[in-house]
Structure 1
Amino acid sequence: RHYDQAHRNVCSVCRAILPSAHWLDLHIQEHHDAFFSARVARGEKAFACFLPACTRVFSRPQKRKLHMIDKHHFARSFNWSLVRSGLRSANSADVDRLASAFQRSVSFGRHGTQSRMQRPQNN
């Protein structure tokens, strides 16, 4: 568990600790990729949804935030800077705090169906 939390999803540029590989990819693209910055400057949709199963991409982080709240039921109080700054440390309190920000029922907006997000089992 410690290795997964502290070493697996760490940015090699700024050492930010991210909660998953998807979040690490988003972090690297949005904060260390010059091509991403150029796309944003041209007004292209470049800000991907925080959930890997959702393929929506947005032109501004604010639009992504509204999508996350409206479609995936994220709390308005969610730490929206997480993709930029990462977790402060890799202790379980940070991971648990992140997990509690997600509601159990996540809607992907397809014909009223819902998917269930569950915390991974530690083996």
Structure 2
Amino acid sequence: MANPAECRAALTQLSENLGKAQGDVRTAAAMDRSLSCWITDLDLTFSGRLRDGSIQDITQAPGKPAERAQIRLAMKGDDLVALVGGTLNFASAWASGRVKLEAGIRDLLQLRKLL
């Protein structure tokens, strides 16, 4: 089971990856939205802001997200680490229910470019 430090490192790596992206991925990552990632097995939420192609101001708090972010993710810590590490495909993880993603329809249309 991934620990909080490994999950935070994965989110930091995801942010760096988004910052290096090009084309449609860069466009999708450039939106300005609040973001939360609830790590279900640790009952820990990481929150931040997707802005200018990176995840900024990442904080962590115990439990489910206290506020409703514009983009909401929920998954186990191991799945977060695997997604960022490239060993778990987002689309198949989402389709199987291992990863939950909630956002407005316009945001979902933009985010699909990240897949």
Same-fold status (TM-score > 0.5): no
Higher strand share: 2
| Bigger-Rg structure (1/2) | 1
- Which bracket does the TM-score occupy, shorter chain normalised? 0.3 to 0.5
- TM-score normalized with structure 2 length: 0.32
- If the length of structure 1 is used for normalisation, what is the TM-score? 0.31
